[in-house]
Structure 1
Amino acid sequence: MIADVAGMTLLALLLPFAGALLAPTLTHRLGHKAAWLLALIPFLSFLKFASFLPEIAAGGAVTGGYAWVPSLNLSFSWFLDGLSLTFALLITGIGTLIILYSGGYMKGHPQQGRFLSFIFLFMGAMLGVVVSDSFLMLFVYWELTSITSFLLIGFDNERTASRRAALQALVVTGGGGLALLAGLIFLWNISGVTQLSMLVHSENLVTASPFYLVTLLLILGGAFTKSAQFPFHVWLPNAMEAPTPVSAYLHSATMVKAGVYLLMRLQPVLGGTPAWEILLPFFGGVTLIVGSVMAVRQTDLKQMLAYTTVASLGLMVMLTGFGSPHALTAAVLYLIAHSLFKGGLFMVAGLIDHEAGTREVTKLGGLAKLMPITFIAALLGGLSMAGLPPFVGFLAKEEIYAALAGGNLRAILFTTVAVIGNALMMVTGLTLAFKPFLGEKTEAAAKAHEGPALLWLGPLTLGVLALLAGVFSHPFHALFSTPMVSAVAGEARTVEISIVPHIGVPLGLSLLTIALGVVLFWQLTSFRALLAKLLEAMGPGPDRGFDVLMTALVRFAYRFTNFIHGGRLDVYVTVTLIITACAFLIPMVMFGELPSMPVLPEKIELHEAAFLLIAVAGLFAVLKSENRLTAIVSLGIQGFAISVIFLLFGAPDLSFTQFMIETLSVVILALVMTRLKLHPSDHRPLPQVLLDGTVAVVSGIGLTLMLLKVTERPLDQTLTEFFNTYSKVIAHGSNVVNVIIVDFRGVDTMGEISVVMITGLAILALIRVRAPKRPASAMTKPQDVKPEGGDA
């Protein structure tokens, strides 16, 4: 493990955020040409991360960071191994191409600078997720991806569909983020560490814990919502309301793979258990089938790609949890292959829409001669998505079947799911590669022409990389696949698969997939119609369920809020006192903890008895007062009497505080009451008086019993001894009380001073309030004469 002391990794992590600051200004000055300059920012980060390839390919890791709260073991730290480095390279490398693509796609848009700023923020957030070592840093960046994706999906905020899609993504992924936070807290408590690099070496500590299952479910909640696993997949296709550069980036290298990254990172910690090997393959397999079926059903290019992303994520989750020796290798290979072909195909879809004015595949055709470079890029991406040699997608598919194939029922079931899912995704890949470009030229295609270099450079580059990764598989595995698989497995693994066919079950399953895909592609129109009827017969799906759930939630919140916040102060006070009384009395009664009755002193001094009588007299004066001002003054008399009692029993500081509170209370209440239009006396009906009296008496009894119970316990002298010992030594003060107030709890005292200051400002405002002037004639009318104790 190598310590990164130079701090250059920190700079690579912060560069995207610097790009977010620079993008609006540069775009305003240079227009779309600023994309060439801005693309250097993620490219520099890419070069920095690429410099770690030799070290990590040799089996090393790079760590670094800064202590934040050492006492709690909280830090801003990063950890780079084969898994995180591959993700970092995908994020920054594809991010560079996305910035260039955005410059061409958003050319002339008045908010292009704001859009690029959001892209950079999104890039920095996702980069932080994959390199984070500390739990805290991981969670902060995890939630930042949800916030920035909300901004990007809802970029066209004037459209209702964009706002709904953004809100849906935020609700689903944000809720999953809260589950992840709880899961990380469980991991912290179980393992005692707050860093992933230490957690992955904790062996069976987590799986042996009695809290393993709840921890796993919480972690899966965060991962499944972020990576759109069924039934949380609905937000991802709706996120296509975002501009195409967002879709290309979100689906290829960033947010949707965050959940897969988390599962791969925690596989050595949480994997290998029956729960892991049941839940992940099941939900992953269902997501694969749902996504691939829905993809074939669509005719919009972006929707087709969106649902294949759902299917691909399901396939990766299924492989991560399957548990066979080749499964993790297959998941890693497919993740890299998917990043390359999906990013390119999304950019192709946007390029077609940009030039032809439509994304409907049924309205497209004959674009090959008009857009030859785009056709080549689509062909490279589509064939890799179809899993055909010599592309890296073929390597991934061969390894998938090597991982799943077996003679038991479980293996047969998931192999069948993989064959069907891959065949359907092959249909979609072939549709994207051929349908818009071959055949007769349509009316929409007549006006199309090849786009600028900013638009076709990205998809062409990714398509070529998908080809080169398959052809030169040996160096590809040495630099990327092998280190990544080793990191996911928690032990050294070697990947050796190449494009040279090997006779066996995996090759036979690949041929079966190709044959099934070709047949379905040949009968695509009929097959799509059949799927449409089937889906219509099944009724509304989870997307409609989300709307129903949100509507019900809003209605419940509205009614519940109106129920508990009806706007009546007397209700609020009554409920608060009832709950307080219950909190005091019920535990003492249930557990037999009622205090013993206090023993009265044999002799009470005359002045002590006098002030007790004054306090009791003040109480009766409050109850018998005929108007509110008299009651307020009587309440003050009672409080002042108690303050004197505190003084007599050796608590001058408490007595002074009580004097201040009583004075402020009387002044404020008097000022408020004289400016409210209230009845001069109490007109409550008898039942209300009985209820209020009962609540007051029960609350008083509860508080009294609690105080008596507390005073029964032996006095803990620990703090007394501490302050007596250190007040002179540390704070250089002989008055212990003053030292406590000023030094040991100075922040608390500052808060109290702030409260007093705010109270004084409120009193000043009340004093300066003046009643509106009335006409002289009106002031002589009998009904305007105020009764005693009335308001102004």
Structure 2
Amino acid sequence: MLVAVLLPFIIAIFIPFLSKWKDKVHTGFFVTIVPVLVFIYFVRFLGTGFEPVIHEYSWIPSLDINMVFHLDGLSLLFVLLISGIGSLVAFYSIFYLHKSEQLGHFYVYFLIFMGSMLGVVLSDNVFALYSFWEFTSLSSFLLIGFWNYKKESRYGALKSMLITVFGGLSLLGALIFMSILTNTTSIQGMIDQQQLILNSEFFPLILILLLLGAFTKSAQFPFHIWLPDAMEAPTPVSAYLHSATMVKAGIYLVARYSPMLSANEWFFIIVSLAGIVTLCWGSYMAVRQIDLKGILAFSTISQLGMIMAMLGFGTKVAIFGAVFHILNHATFKGSLFMIAGIVDHEAGTRDIRKLGGLMTFMPMTATLAIIASFSMAGLPLPFLNGFYSKEMFFESSLHLEAASTGFAGFLQASIPYLAVFGSIFTFVYSMYFFFGTFRGKSHLEELPKKPHEAPIGMLISPIILVAGVIIIGLFPSLINEPFIAHAAESVKGAVLEEKHIYFWHGFIPPFIMSITVVVFGSILALSRKVWAPVYRFVPGVLSMNKVYDGTVDRMERYSKNITKGYMNGSLGRYVRLILAAIIVISFAFMAITGGFTIDTSNVAEITTPEILVAIMMVIAAVGTAITNNRIAAILILGVVGYGLSMLFVLYRAPDLALTQLIVETVTVALFLLVFYHLPKLRKKEEPVSTKILNLVISVGFGVLMTMVAISSHSSKFFDSISEYFVDNSYKLGGGDNIVNVILVDFRGLDTLFEIVVLGIAAMAIFGLIRLRKNKEEE
């Protein structure tokens, strides 16, 4: 399993080399092989007898951080979506992205994102999950901003990163709290100790932080604003990130932790309310858009809201419907994004005002679009998979578990009406997308180029996805027991008693709600131009984007003003600020933690030679600060270094004394060599207040270092590591000299990198010498 997760990262290393052959073979052909192999590896786990699989690999065992991969029904669903949709998107991109594009960059980002998503849904260790979680934010930032020469792409990439990384940091806080409370970093281990977390005084904070991470990633209201701007990414990115993978990461997180968190009433209130509001707002705003991908972006927001609401409901039907709709949404929404890309590719625009009548020119694309859009609308037709999960959504909204009176009771009573309202506009934007693009009057004179059918290579991927829509719609029971049932059971044991999923259940309330949606949705779709001016009032000039832009602008303005306040070019000011901050923070921390401890019981007696050497060093240090001659200052400063060497000798540390003597001698010699060529030292006259401030900071920093040295010796919060070195230097390192063994063996890696740094510096100096020599020869 580790190989399957790391395979995208490994192949990403070789993509820059493979992309050099893109004139002969499109890089996408090499990349497509990766998700196909991952899909083949995991699809073999499908079946009625599937049991969770756990693989553990050592990472940082001392911190209880290991790479633990847990494959159950829920993670298997997401893995197959990530690899399956990834295979189709990679193949689709071959025909969408021209060879003149920076294909090497695109596919490296693509593979990093794929591997990160696999890590998110498979990791059982919370810190491994968080690492992969942030990798998805970073790689999606690079994918969204792929066309970085466009201002809109840069804006959308930055917005998505700021919002999702903010949520990621919130998630990290929740994970740290839970790991401390349960004394484990395993997700399954935390779920097994759910009562410990539910009864904790920190539970409200844990719930808010975790849901912030999920809501920001899955574009829940009011954090949905990043998703429409992310549509500036190439269409393959939109089809992958924003229909099947990245935006589903938050859904996965809530589903994974719902067995633990759903026992609390506030989980129902927050998750259900956020989901249902997101459904209504996203579907309502989708009809306002004029860009095809903009319509699909807000439709994705609404569909994610519906899934999130069902997870909040928490009943068996709701959980099963949520899991089922995750699959259904990936099929019809992935195909619709690809269709929008085909229209843009072949007609030259995504502006729906310029489109219309394209069915005549693009019959195959139009056929795919009508099936996918009608499935998204939830039309009650037996070959549309979207209808089944929409029915479960309606049914679950009518049969919520009894809530208490108050706001939870009011929310429970309101949910069915809000579900119908959001679904009506879902029907409207689905019809708006299809009929506004493929039916009606054509506007060929307004199109950048004459539309025509896409090449078959570009159609293969949406054909496969639409075929999935039809197959799941006709035979939903085939995927129930071997696939969907396992995913639902992994969430809350939400396995339906019925083994078969039926299309017709009679004239029951959910079906009546579906008919109501179709009737009122048809009326609104046909009269859209009549009621469209309502958007001038709701939302009118109000926009969450304005809140975001205003917040970012103010932060940038305030930070610039603060920076200008201290970054004035004065090195003296920089040093004073740094040292003052160190003094204040360090003294405050020592005072809070009781660090001011002086214990002389274990201190050797101070002899006369040591006192004399110390006095000599103090006089030399003061003399260095007050002298007006550079050469004299260097020589006097050397006295401090040689005095330290004498102290090492007195304390029987000949190795350190020798090292100090060599370094001090070389340093003084180099300083003398360089400073000899500098002009005469002229000290800048400073005001008395500055001199007093310098004196206070100097004395304060000296006192701080003295107190740190004394307190560190007097305070023993931890056992000394010196005994370990004494006991093991010969046994493990094979040497009698403890200092040498520490440097070469125990800190061998540190020493290696120090040597590397010195080697790099030596090469840089050598390069400068060669450069100067070449110039002199010229």
TM range (shorter): 0.7 to 0.9
Seq. identity, %: 35
SS of 1:415 mapped into structure 2: helix
Partner residue, 2:620: 618
- Kindly indicate whether residue 364 of structure 2 is the aligned counterpart of residue 373 of structure 1: yes
Partner residue, 1:421: 422
- Kindly indicate whether residue 562 of structure 2 is the aligned counterpart of residue 563 of structure 1: no
- Kindly indicate whether residue 517 of structure 2 is the aligned counterpart of residue 513 of structure 1: yes
Asked if the contact 1:20–1:121 (Cα under 8 Å) also holds between the matched residues in 2, the reply is no
Partner residue, 1:473: 476
Partner residue, 1:529: 533
Seen in structure 2, the aligned counterparts of structure 1 residues 750 and 567 have a Cα distance that, compared at 3 Å, is farther
Amino acid at match of 1:29: K
- Aligned equivalent of 1:52, options 20, 45, 49: 45
Asked if the contact 1:16–1:123 (Cα under 8 Å) also holds between the matched residues in 2, the reply is no
Asked if the contact 1:224–1:232 (Cα under 8 Å) also holds between the matched residues in 2, the reply is yes
Seen in structure 2, the aligned counterparts of structure 1 residues 212 and 728 have a Cα distance that, compared at 3 Å, is same
Asked if the contact 1:668–1:763 (Cα under 8 Å) also holds between the matched residues in 2, the reply is no
Amino acid at match of 2:427: M
SS of 2:66 mapped into structure 1: strand
How big is the shift at 1:416? 1.7
- Aligned equivalent of 1:498, options 502, 506, 516: 502
| 1: CA distance, partners of 2:763 / 2:12 | 42
Amino acid at match of 1:104: F
SS of 1:68 mapped into structure 2: strand
Partner residue, 1:644: 646
Partner residue, 1:573: 575
Seen in structure 2, the aligned counterparts of structure 1 residues 362 and 664 have a Cα distance that, compared at 3 Å, is same
Partner residue, 1:124: 115
- Kindly indicate whether residue 449 of structure 2 is the aligned counterpart of residue 449 of structure 1: no
- Kindly indicate whether residue 203 of structure 2 is the aligned counterpart of residue 212 of structure 1: yes
| 1: CA distance, partners of 2:74 / 2:412 | 27
Residue segments in structure 2 that go unaligned for 5+ positions in a row:
403-408, 773-778
Mapping for residues 691-706 of structure 1, pairs under 5 Å: 691-706=693-708
Partner residue, 2:337: 346
Q: How many residues align?
A: 758
- Kindly indicate whether residue 439 of structure 2 is the aligned counterpart of residue 438 of structure 1: yes
How big is the shift at 1:506? 1.5
- Kindly indicate whether residue 383 of structure 2 is the aligned counterpart of residue 393 of structure 1: no
| 2: CA distance, partners of 1:335 / 1:385 | 12
Asked if the contact 2:130–2:172 (Cα under 8 Å) also holds between the matched residues in 1, the reply is yes
| 2: CA distance, partners of 1:255 / 1:272 | 27
| 2: CA distance, partners of 1:13 / 1:592 | 49
- The answer to which of 270-279 and 434-443 deviates more is 434-443
Amino acid at match of 1:526: V
Mapping for residues 762-773 of structure 1, pairs under 5 Å: none
| 2: CA distance, partners of 1:492 / 1:187 | 28
- The answer to which of 194-203 and 262-271 deviates more is 194-203
Partner residue, 2:487: 484
- Kindly indicate whether residue 264 of structure 2 is the aligned counterpart of residue 261 of structure 1: no
Asked if the contact 1:12–1:44 (Cα under 8 Å) also holds between the matched residues in 2, the reply is no
Asked if the contact 1:368–1:375 (Cα under 8 Å) also holds between the matched residues in 2, the reply is yes
| 2: CA distance, partners of 1:131 / 1:231 | 28
Asked if the contact 2:566–2:573 (Cα under 8 Å) also holds between the matched residues in 1, the reply is no
Partner residue, 2:297: 306
Asked if the contact 1:672–1:766 (Cα under 8 Å) also holds between the matched residues in 2, the reply is no
| 2: CA distance, partners of 1:598 / 1:698 | 26
Which structure's CA Rg is the greater one? 1
SS of 1:327 mapped into structure 2: helix
Seen in structure 2, the aligned counterparts of structure 1 residues 672 and 203 have a Cα distance that, compared at 3 Å, is same
Partner residue, 1:181: 172
Asked if the contact 1:19–1:38 (Cα under 8 Å) also holds between the matched residues in 2, the reply is no
Asked if the contact 2:315–2:494 (Cα under 8 Å) also holds between the matched residues in 1, the reply is no
How big is the shift at 1:37? 7.2
SS of 1:194 mapped into structure 2: coil
- The answer to which of 309-318 and 321-330 deviates more is 321-330
Mapping for residues 609-688 of structure 1, pairs under 5 Å: 611=613, 614-615=616-617, 617-618=619-620, 621-622=623-624, 625-660=627-662, 662-671=664-673, 673-677=675-679, 679-680=681-682, 683-688=685-690
- The answer to which of 706-715 and 314-323 deviates more is 706-715
| 1: CA distance, partners of 2:526 / 2:142 | 40
| 1: CA distance, partners of 2:62 / 2:597 | 40
* 1:328-372 CA distance string (max 9 Å, x none): 122112222211111122222222222333323333333333322
How big is the shift at 1:195? 3.6
| 1: CA distance, partners of 2:591 / 2:423 | 66
| 1: CA distance, partners of 2:165 / 2:703 | 45
SS of 1:75 mapped into structure 2: strand
Amino acid at match of 1:423: I
Mapping for residues 715-734 of structure 1, pairs under 5 Å: 719=721, 721-734=723-736
- Kindly indicate whether residue 395 of structure 2 is the aligned counterpart of residue 402 of structure 1: yes
- The answer to which of 135-144 and 77-86 deviates more is 135-144
SS of 1:326 mapped into structure 2: helix
Asked if the contact 2:630–2:680 (Cα under 8 Å) also holds between the matched residues in 1, the reply is no
Partner residue, 2:406: none
* 1:670-718 CA distance string (max 9 Å, x none): 4554454464456444443333233333433444455455555699995
- The answer to which of 357-366 and 416-425 deviates more is 357-366
| 1: CA distance, partners of 2:644 / 2:685 | 30
| 1: CA distance, partners of 2:69 / 2:58 | 12
- The answer to which of 10-19 and 622-631 deviates more is 10-19
Partner residue, 2:285: 294
| 2: CA distance, partners of 1:97 / 1:722 | 57
Seen in structure 2, the aligned counterparts of structure 1 residues 147 and 706 have a Cα distance that, compared at 3 Å, is closer
| 2: CA distance, partners of 1:664 / 1:309 | 67
How big is the shift at 1:313? 1.0
Residue segments in structure 1 that go unaligned for 5+ positions in a row:
771-792
| 1: CA distance, partners of 2:44 / 2:219 | 33
- The answer to which of 668-677 and 99-108 deviates more is 668-677
* 1:51-80 CA distance string (max 9 Å, x none): 1111xx334123335333334343334322
SS of 1:435 mapped into structure 2: helix
SS of 1:30 mapped into structure 2: coil
Partner residue, 2:350: 359
How big is the shift at 1:227? 0.9
SS of 2:444 mapped into structure 1: coil
RMSD, matched Cα: 3.9
Mapping for residues 107-118 of structure 1, pairs under 5 Å: 107=98, 109-111=100-102, 114-118=105-109
- The answer to which of 71-80 and 498-507 deviates more is 71-80
- The answer to which of 206-215 and 652-661 deviates more is 652-661
- Aligned equivalent of 2:76, options 85, 88, 96: 85
SS of 2:353 mapped into structure 1: helix
- Aligned equivalent of 2:132, options 141, 144, 147: 141
How big is the shift at 1:562? 3.6
- Aligned equivalent of 1:546, options 512, 536, 548: 548
Superposition TM-score, scaled by structure 2 size: 0.86
| 2: CA distance, partners of 1:207 / 1:557 | 40
How big is the shift at 1:311? 1.0
* 1:503-559 CA distance string (max 9 Å, x none): 3222222222222211111211122222244332xx241223322222223333333
| 2: CA distance, partners of 1:120 / 1:601 | 62
Seen in structure 2, the aligned counterparts of structure 1 residues 65 and 235 have a Cα distance that, compared at 3 Å, is same
Seen in structure 2, the aligned counterparts of structure 1 residues 16 and 497 have a Cα distance that, compared at 3 Å, is farther
* 1:134-162 CA distance string (max 9 Å, x none): 33443333223223322322222222111
Amino acid at match of 1:312: Q
- The answer to which of 305-314 and 275-284 deviates more is 275-284
How big is the shift at 1:216? 2.5
| 2: CA distance, partners of 1:501 / 1:689 | 88
Amino acid at match of 2:19: P
- Kindly indicate whether residue 23 of structure 2 is the aligned counterpart of residue 28 of structure 1: yes
SS of 1:535 mapped into structure 2: coil
| 1: CA distance, partners of 2:474 / 2:430 | 20
Seen in structure 2, the aligned counterparts of structure 1 residues 663 and 750 have a Cα distance that, compared at 3 Å, is farther
| 2: CA distance, partners of 1:163 / 1:670 | 51
| 2: CA distance, partners of 1:451 / 1:629 | 79
Seen in structure 2, the aligned counterparts of structure 1 residues 270 and 20 have a Cα distance that, compared at 3 Å, is farther
Asked if the contact 1:626–1:682 (Cα under 8 Å) also holds between the matched residues in 2, the reply is no
